[in-house]
Amino acid sequence: MKFLSAYFEKLGRHFEPGRPLEKYYPLYEAFDSFLFGSSKTTSLSPHVRDSMDLKRIMSIVIVALLPCVFMALWNTGYQANLAISTIGLGGPGGWRGSIMALVGCNPSDIVSNLVLGALYFLPVYLVTLLVGSIWEGLFNLIRGHEFSEAFLVTSMLFALTLPPSIPLWQVAAGISFGVIFAKEVFGGVGRNFINPALAARAFIFFAYPAQMTGDSIWTGVDGVTAATALNRFAGMTPGGSIDQVSFNWLQSFLGAVPGSMGETSTLACLFGAFVLLVTGIASWRIMFSMLLGGLLCATFFWLRGSGVNPMYAIPPHYHLVIGGFAFGLVFMATDPVSAAHTRTGQYLFGFTVGLLAILIRVANPAYPEGVMLAILLGNVVAPLFDFFVIQANIKRRRLRHG
């Protein structure tokens, strides 16, 4: 490694200002930083030195996401294998079927589930990574900016929020929109005011609703329908009990239900929350206040009841384990760029997002998942929360000091 590091250091002279390859410095820096870490570190006072930098932060977030990735592979394969075994098919069609002929399609076999799930998830993730990196690289070369490891997290978050059957060209269109119009037009890394991964998913959701809604998109098997837990609640008889839904609380908590590939398991999200909180990367204030806002809103609707809207019948503790609430709480709402930054602002931001998520989910049964829109709306008003908090602090100081 020392030889390779010395070679890259020597190679880097050709990319210095005034040299022939100057405009390609961002590409060189991206490979150098990825392989050896950043050479730009602080060594003099008054700065505090520690072992944390952007690269390590992004690496820790990826580690926190690994259980969700594992569940994306296992549950996607499990749902597909379960559908295949239920209707008596020999296996999935196309190139996936050729590979699964070697492994078998058995929903009780963890290897079979993981392999089949990977055949759905990996193409989506690779397209996201490739197309998004091309756009990021293009803008970095034009502006002379360095590459950031932040896109590794954005690409993984985006892929985890998608259904397994989504066409790959729509994946490319979605991540292109998110990178260009939610981040790069505002200046690039650290200057976006909304979460790029959520903006990309929202674009696909509203531009191509047929591939993002309905019951036929969650198993990946042609001709097989499987409603998510939220859709099944929305389809209950008004005024009835939740016993009409075949998914129980434990199944939803573990994540063995149809849904977006990486959002179904609250248990996996809890592991991610533990990692992010212990390392101090995510704000516990946002997580706590979003949880509180969601529970209070869900409790209000549950106690009020409705003879028309079946979503009112969902108990508050069910709201925490169905849909993308847990995933949004842990990984999306806590985005340090697009969330509020002041302590009081973080409480207000999280509470608003949690309340809006359940309000949209329950009050509009035609759109039972409100977490995505709630976080995007929260991103828009987050600067206002910080502004009013700062102004209030300034006013108090003026009064205190005469």
Confidence category of residue 274, pLDDT binned at 50, 70, 90:
very high
- The answer to whether residues 166 and 201 touch, using CB atoms and an 8 Å cutoff, is no
Q: What integer is the mean pLDDT of 315-337?
A: 95
Confidence category of residue 329, pLDDT binned at 50, 70, 90:
very high
Q: What is the pLDDT of residue 5?
A: 60
Least confident of 139-148, 156-165, 338-347: 139-148
Opening angle at CA 350, ends 346 and 351, nearest 5: 115
Which tops the pLDDT comparison, 352 or 187?
Answer: 352
Closest C-alpha to 68, from 332, 263, 219, 257: 263
pLDDT at residue 138 is higher than 80: yes
Q: What is the pLDDT of residue 48?
A: 46
How many whole angstroms separate alpha carbon 355 and alpha carbon 266?
A: 19
| CA 198 to centroid of chain Cα atoms | 7
| pLDDT tens digits, one per residue of 300-323 | 999 998 888 889 999 999 999 999
Residue 71 has which token pair? Answer: 């569940």
| CA 309 to centroid of chain Cα atoms | 29
| pLDDT tens digits, one per residue of 336-363 | 999 999 999 999 999 999 999 999 999 9
Which tops the pLDDT comparison, 364 or 118?
Answer: 118
* Sequence spans of domains, the chain: 26-37+53-226, 229-402
> Whole-number mean pLDDT of the chain?
87
- The answer to whether residues 174 and 125 touch, using CB atoms and an 8 Å cutoff, is no
Which tops the pLDDT comparison, 348 or 99?
Answer: 348
How many whole angstroms separate alpha carbon 114 and alpha carbon 119?
A: 9
Q: What is the pLDDT of residue 358?
A: 96
pLDDT at residue 47 is higher than 50: no
At 304, which amino acid appears? R
Q: Give the range with max mean pLDDT: 44-58, 85-99, 226-240, 326-340.
A: 326-340
Closest C-alpha to 367, from 380, 357, 355, 378: 357
Which tops the pLDDT comparison, 53 or 151?
Answer: 151
Q: How far is CA 187 from CA 155, 167, 180, 340, 380, in A?
A: 19, 30, 10, 19, 17
| pLDDT tens digits, one per residue of 235-264 | 888 776 777 787 889 999 999 999 999 999
Whether the CA torsion 172, 177, 180, 182 is positive or negative: it is negative
For tokens 């985890």, name the residue. 160
pLDDT at residue 155 is higher than 60: yes
Report percent pLDDT > 90 for the chain. 57
Q: What is the pLDDT of residue 26?
A: 64
Whether the CA torsion 133, 270, 57, 355 is positive or negative: it is positive
Q: What is the pLDDT of residue 247?
A: 83
Residue 147 has which token pair? Answer: 């590459």
DSSP state of 147: P
Q: What is the pLDDT of residue 11?
A: 65
Closest C-alpha to 215, from 236, 231, 238, 203: 231
Report percent pLDDT > 70 for the chain. 85
How many whole angstroms separate alpha carbon 44 and alpha carbon 7?
A: 28
Q: What is the pLDDT of residue 3?
A: 62
**What residues have CB less than 8 Å from 195, skipping those under 6 apart?**
182, 332, 335, 338, 375, 376, 379
Q: How far is CA 36 from CA 1, 22, 137, 154, in A?
A: 9, 21, 19, 22
Which tops the pLDDT comparison, 121 or 30?
Answer: 121
Opening angle at CA 313, ends 312 and 314, nearest 5: 95
Q: What is the pLDDT of residue 234?
A: 82
